[in-house]
Amino acid sequence: MKAPKRLQTLIEEGLIDSVVRQLMSGKEAKVYVVRCGDDARCAKVYKDATERSFRQAVDYTENRKVKNTRQARAMAKGTRYGREAQEAAWQSAEVDALYRLAAAGVRVPRPYNFLDGVLLMELVADAHGDAAPRLNDVQFTPEEARVHHATLLVEVVRMLCAGVVHGDLSEFNILLAADGPVIIDLPQAVDAAGNNHAQRMLLRDVANLRGFFGRFAPELLLTEYGPEIWDLYERGLLQPEVALSGRFEAKRGTVDVGDVLRVIDDARAEEAARLMRLAQPS
């Protein structure tokens, strides 16, 4: 196919040889299959902020690092320069997270390069060498659901041990590769220690996994892995090889009504996003 304008620079720089086809168009980017020598890879072209349906909510961008105080002031004031800096930080967040998580052994696509708002990375493939499907497009037996759920819990733990919470993890941004699930779409990833909303996001990520795989293995709906994982993390006991039980008894105390309302709002927003994703063509 004819190379989109945003990919011309990568062709001119010799980073890719040709564009094979568009793989998908999501809420924040379009993804293309490209050729790099004998290899097939992915090129993720980020949409401009005005074209995205996903907004940079303050919960995600809290405490993100910027180059200097001038950028921080401009971003706070919402100037044109500030908006450009915020957009650059939003895009580089996924790049930084991918390199960080890949180094920690987390199952994410291997990043290769990032240039002019385009992320060049590994093409996650199925057993036939084709682009791997999203979990949402696959039916599982109860045993398969239990195995993949356990695999992904290990990845969530590894991510948290590396200091990262995905923040938007669900069946829509996990691919089923030939050797198991691979986590994708990380521009909203947050720093576990530096973001006050990290706990809520981690619990929501794990609850999303429970809800999805619980459709195939209903006993998973009774588990409490999220609170267990976060409790171990807070107490400094979380390790990548930790054995989880799926049981957790919350300490009794004063209920934070504001936090409960935020959880309800998150659930509503997640359901709205899920319906929007279902409406989008694959």
The number of angstroms, rounded, from the C-alpha of 69 to the middle of its chain's C-alpha atoms is 28
Active site residue 265: no
- Of 185, 191, 231, 265, catalytic: 185
- Of 39, 116, 168, 259, catalytic: 168
- Bridge partner list, 41: 34, 122
Tokens of residue 217, six digits: 């293995």
Active site residue 48: no
Angle of helix 257-279 relative to helix 198-213, nearest 10 degrees?
Answer: 50
Catalogue the active-site residues: 168, 185
